Amino acid sequence: MRRHLGVCLFGWMVLTIGIACGGGETVSVDVDPVVVEPPAVEVPEVAEDSILTAGVMWGSHLCTEKAGDNCVDPTTTFAHDTPMIYFVHQTKDLPEKAQTYNIRWIAVDVGDAAPAGTVVFDLNEVVTEGMLLKIATHYTISSQASKPTAGWPPGSYKVAITLDGAPVTEAAYTIE
């Protein structure tokens, strides 16, 4: 596109100069096309199980910091005194209006701190129709859990997501 614009502008200048200098004469210009290589694009590193496309980190991720709808430095291991754990799931599968996502934070095995499979947090997110849902290319489900007063009991945990009762994804993590 730039090559064509440059040739057009050059041709317009030649035509304008030709008219200003007595005009009417035919001027021919031989122009060799110039090929310009696009600059190299640096692709940021992301977790193995995710794909970063147009600023969207697809899949499920856990982290201690978010930037927009993406996790910064996704991880599956957290310290017992981590103040906040974020969960983000981005999908191309768009929900419909009034469907409900259930986000369940579960203590899978935390020893004597709680029975196996204890639900720590249970949240529902009802999909509302809006302009963005009509033109959306992806949907983001996010949640966060803050540190309990006594800290996170060491053990294994997971975040389980369902949509109207059907499983969507699970993300396992460990507190050390």
Structural domains of the chain ordered from first start:
1-36 (no CATH), 52-175 (2.60.40.1930)
Nearest to 62 by CA among 49, 78, 75: 75
Tokens encoding 161: 């997501």
175 neighbors 167 (Cβ within 8 angstroms): no
* End-to-end Cα distance, the chain: 56
Distance separating alpha carbons of residues 21 and 27, to the nearest angstrom: 12
Predicted TM-score of the model (pTM): 0.66
Instruction: Pick 71 or 129 by higher pLDDT.
Output: 71
**Model confidence at 21: pLDDT above 60:** no
**Model confidence at 22: pLDDT above 60:** no
pLDDT in tens, 77-108: 999 999 999 999 988 888 888 899 999 999 99
Question: What residue ranges in 96-154 does DSSP mark as E strands?
Answer: 100-109, 118-126, 139-146
